[in-house]
Amino acid sequence: MIIHQDITKTMAHAYIFPGQGAQFTGMGQLLYDNNPAAKDLFEEANDILGFRLSDTMFTGTDESLKQTNVTQPAVFLHSVASFKNIPDAKPDMVAGHSLGEFSALVANQVLSFGDALRLVSIRAGAMQRACELNPSTMAAIIGLDDAKVEEICRHVANEAGEVVVAANYNCPGQLVISGSLRGIELACGQLKDAGAKRALVLPVGGAFHSPLMLPAREELAQAISEITFNNPICPIYQNVVAKGISDPEMIKENLISQLTGPVKWTQCVQAMIADGATEFTECGPGKVLQGLVQKINKEMITNGMS
């Protein structure tokens, strides 16, 4: 007996979008110079923000691009312009790493470009203010099981009374932690003692995806309550739940929770693969997410649009 298997239902194309840290000087200039539609999008962003973001993207210094109120809109703009530059792009599923969720929500038509950019700008400003309220940072932990990292974070938090949590599950063996300056210092020491290959404090000005972002979460929640979220054309695999979501109200809740909750990127990619993803296209600056997908499952097809 010959069994004919319908593989069309199990093969899906996922579009993924990077977050803060992917920026570089010159980002987006080729799109601006060579694509009239992209140029219009950049100029629309400049008008919405009230300053020429594109100038900073094209010719700004590394330091100017690291400013949160610049970085987040810049990565978002580049990512959306890259996606829109793909002829007849039809995602079966989307996901974004942290900030990248806003780009993903434009790609699956939940948010308009203008509304998403306004939310990104509010989010960036709120996160910057939260950073100034609570001196804090993040650290990349390499070569240790997630469960061990989580255990040590809990131990430091309980023993020292400091905030320190697992923040970014990037791929197996790479987990970023987030917390107070003292909490991160103590955790890094104990994680090295536990066998971590590296425990590297990152050059960031705050504890993203931790309880220290609560003031920013409240500000973002208010802004989100005033924006229309449409029904998506495909599910978004959201960071805090690591599964495909299509209900606009749930998408809102998860987007708000993300500021103080972890980015479960490993789990999101695994869930997309379980639901049929065989190809991942990264839209935006850099190739970081393509690399992470390959580390999560080397059999996946990965490519990028920048």
- The residues carrying an active-site annotation are 98, 209
Please enumerate in sequence order all residues whose Cβ is within 8 A of that of 125, keeping only pairs 6 or more positions apart, or say none.
Answer: 68, 69
Task: Name the burial class of residue 3, with classes exposed (0-12), middle (13-18) and buried (19+) by CB atoms within 10 angstroms of its CB.
Answer: exposed
Q: Which two tokens stand for residue 233?
A: 């054309």
CA distance 281 to 287: 10
Q: Give the dihedral of Cα atoms 115, 285, 253, 128; nearest 10 deg.
A: -80
Q: What DSSP designation does 173 have?
A: T
Closest CA relative to residue 97, chosen from 276, 284, 299, 306: 284
Question: Tokens for 260?
Answer: 């103080």
Q: Return all residues near 77 (Cβ < 8 A) that are at least 6 apart.
A: 28, 41, 42, 45, 53, 54, 57, 117
Cβ atoms of residues 121 and 53 within 8 Å: no
β-partners of residue 171 are 174
How far is CA 145 from each of CA 103, 191, 243, rounded to the nearest angstrom? 30, 11, 22
Phi, psi dihedral angles at 96 (to 5 degrees): -135, 145
Give the span between the Cα atoms of 203 and 221, in whole angstroms: 27
